Structure 1
Amino acid sequence: MMEEAFRVSVSEADFDVGAELDALAAGRSDIGAVASFVGRVRGGEGLIAMSLEHYPAMTEKALAGIVSQARVRWPLMGVRVIHRVGRLLPGAQIVMVAVASGHRGAAFEACEFIMDFLKTRAPFWKKEELPGGARWVDARESDDAAAARWDTDQP
């Protein structure tokens, strides 16, 4: 179980980005930077909806592990990772990563690291609903390349 300042959740429910960012830094005057990323379901190619599936215990454990790796690399004061599952329509929020630190460099880098690893190492399966039928979404080489740049001998 992660401490309150470092939380991950997977849910069908939507989230309020402003409220999550406020909660991340609430009561803390030592936080100098909060960097965040919010991903949305991208429409196009006639996308009707996207469905995300996962194994609950395995997924949250993987997300917590990614956050733990970020904490080893950067001086973080808080992290919030929210990932939605279920059927989502184009434009819907799908993921949020928010990172609090004393300085912007650490916050930006850790946020990007968490998102890159989430895209490649968290066990989610995506299926797109299109006018001609449904298809499973394969991993992208660009996502693997983004995560690979973080693989170094350093923690």
Structure 2
Amino acid sequence: MRAKSIFLAATSATTVNALSFTNANFYNITIGNPFNITWSDAQGPVSLTLLKGGTEPFFTNISTLASGLTASSYVWTPAADLTSDTYLIHFEDSSGASAYGFYFALVDAPYSIATTPTKTTVAATAAATTTTSSPLSTYTYP
């Protein structure tokens, strides 16, 4: 019985909560749009750091997104001064445990499309009909 108790104590002492990101939706991150970063099993306050591309140890530290976080989520809005590229987020808690998020492609905000329609003039005569929207798209039907 004593050997079994020692084995259980040793097993529970080596079991560590796996510090990790809990959202895997890192595929639709757009400059200017909020993105919810979530994690679990943090020990104390945490910090989030934005890193740029490459592979470890060749990450480039871009900026600290937040530090001293005591909740298990943070809403980050990528700033307009970031460029479209490959990034990842590094998470570290106060015990020194750390985790990396998924690589993601940060993309520019979609271009806005004008909602006002362009004006097209149609002229009809007995001999021909001409539709004009620009000089390159004018065509006369016989």
TM-score, normalised relative to structure 1: 0.27
Larger RCO, structures 1/2 (Cα 8 Å, 6+ apart): 1
Greater helix percent: which structure? 1
TM-score, normalised relative to structure 2: 0.28
Greater strand percent: which structure? 2
The structure that has the greater radius of gyration is 2
